[in-house]
Amino acid sequence: MADATATDQLRTLETLALGELVGYADEPALRLWNTKFFGDKGLMKAALGKLKDIPKDQRAAFGQEANRVKLALETAYATALGTAKDAALQHSLATDKLDVTLPGRATRRGRLHPATTILRDIYAIFADLGFQVYRTREIETDDNNFELLNMPPHHPARDMWDTFFTTTPGTILRTHTSPGQIHVMREKCPDPIRVILPGMCYRNEAISTRSEIQFLQVEGLVIGEGITMADLKGTITAFARRMFGPERQVRIRSSYFPFTEPSIEVDIDWPADDPNRDRLTKGTGWLEILGAGMIHPTVLRNGGYDPDKVTGFAFGMGPQRMLMLKHAIDDIRLFWQNDRRFAEQF
Ligand code: PHE
């Protein structure tokens, strides 16, 4: 009987298809299975094509059976596909672990070196006082560093600065920022001057916790008609109060520098409630912050100015020393050692 054969074929096909489905565990294999049985040239289609050969009165029964088989296979396929997808997901979760709830990895941000920060603070304070920043060279002539600052060769004051010499005679690494005074004066003369000169200085010293062979200085230079010690004192006081707090008292002691006359050293009082006060001020309550003075007439003349017409003052401070005081840094060598653990604290 044709219909019995066709129906048998249908059932054989069902058994075959279900059997194969069990072996196909992943999605691509299952999709091949689907094509094999349900594709355009698939086995189901071929089996259903037999319908036309079946006698009319038996077609309905065959059609019913065909629908049952089709539905059974489709259901089995959908279930197998769902299981396979789920297994694939579980596998990927277990092997390619990506925890989207983990906090992100922070980008390391750079920061300014404390020396840069304090220099910028100093620039800002002096900018408000009308000072411009003037940069001059670190490699200097012996003339600018000493001679034109009123220190002839063999002047005993040269002993205050242990100098690095270059192989070019008369060319040295500047021992202080004061030679910058000569550059500014010769460029600006006869105009009045109000500048600060920041930069690196070099001294041939034994390196220790307190002295380094390179360090920063900030020089100040003011020249004009009628400039007096009162202007120097007012400028330094204004600076100290902006830098160290509005309550600061300024104390002036007489001192000696060849290029200023009179010369002074300036101290500020340290807050009485700071537990570090004794250590920082060596028990005196006063802290030295800079050297200064009225510009020596010889130096004015060397810069091109007439000391009978103009006067001026100069000062020199060490920003690293201020930082060491402010942050209780007890070793000056830390500044240029490039140890990130140091820089990251600021
Ligand atoms: N140049 C001096 C030093 O290095 C400091 C100073 C500058 C003093 C200007 C007076 C005037 O010690």
CA–CA separation, 202 vs 216, rounded Å?
9
Regarding the beta carbon of 292 and ligand 1, being less than 6 Å apart is answered: yes
Regarding the beta carbon of 312 and ligand 1, being less than 6 Å apart is answered: no
Average pLDDT, rounded, for the chain: 91
At 328, is the pLDDT very low, low, confident or very high (cuts 50, 70, 90)? confident
H or E element, residue 77: helix 56-95
What pLDDT does 220 receive?
A: 98
Distance 232 CA to ligand 1 centre (A): 14
What average pLDDT does this structure show over 194-207? 95
Distance 177 CA to ligand 1 centre (A): 8
Distance 229 CA to ligand 1 centre (A): 16
At 154, is the pLDDT very low, low, confident or very high (cuts 50, 70, 90)? confident
Percentage of the chain lying above the pLDDT 90 cut = 55
Of 216-220, 298-302, 305-309, 340-344, least confident by mean pLDDT is 340-344
Is residue 88's pLDDT more than 80?
yes
More confident residue, 41 or 308: 308
More confident residue, 155 or 309: 309
More confident residue, 330 or 344: 344
Token pair belonging to 12: 């054989």
Regarding the beta carbon of 316 and ligand 1, being less than 6 Å apart is answered: yes
Contacts of 104 (CB under 8 A, 6+ apart): none
What pLDDT does 4 receive?
A: 63
DSSP character for 7? Answer: H
Is residue 254's pLDDT more than 80?
yes
- Closest ligand 1 atom to residue 317 Cα is 5
What pLDDT does 159 receive?
A: 79
Percentage of the chain lying above the pLDDT 70 cut = 99
User: Ligand 1: which residue has its CA nearest to atom 6?
Assistant: 316
Q: Is 73 helix (H, G, I), strand (E, B) or coil?
A: helix
What pLDDT does 3 receive?
A: 52
Distance 138 CA to ligand 1 centre (A): 16
Return the top range by mean pLDDT from 30-34, 106-110, 152-156.
30-34
Is residue 137's pLDDT more than 60?
yes
What average pLDDT does this structure show over 90-109? 85
More confident residue, 211 or 192: 192
What pLDDT does 9 receive?
A: 85
Could you tell which of 259, 263, 294 is best to mutate to test the pocket of ligand 1, judged by most ligand atoms within 8 Å of the CB?
A: 259
What average pLDDT does this structure show over 195-208? 94
Q: Is 80 helix (H, G, I), strand (E, B) or coil?
A: helix
Is residue 309's pLDDT more than 50?
yes
Mapped to the 3 state alphabet, what secondary structure does 219-264 carry?
EEEEEECCCCHHHHHHHHHHHHHHHHCCCCCEEEEEEEECCEEEEE
Is residue 17's pLDDT more than 60?
yes
User: Ligand 1: which residue has its CA nearest to atom 10?
Assistant: 292
Return the top range by mean pLDDT from 42-51, 127-136, 330-339.
127-136
Token pair belonging to 142: 């012996």
What average pLDDT does this structure show over 228-251? 93
What pLDDT does 330 receive?
A: 80
Regarding the beta carbon of 174 and ligand 1, being less than 6 Å apart is answered: no
Regarding the beta carbon of 218 and ligand 1, being less than 6 Å apart is answered: no
Regarding the beta carbon of 291 and ligand 1, being less than 6 Å apart is answered: yes
Contacts of 84 (CB under 8 A, 6+ apart): 24, 25, 26, 27, 30
Distance 311 CA to ligand 1 centre (A): 17
Distance 29 CA to ligand 1 centre (A): 87
Contacts of 157 (CB under 8 A, 6+ apart): 151, 256, 257, 258
Is residue 14's pLDDT more than 70?
yes
CA–CA separation, 267 vs 265, rounded Å?
7
What pLDDT does 2 receive?
A: 46
Distance 262 CA to ligand 1 centre (A): 12
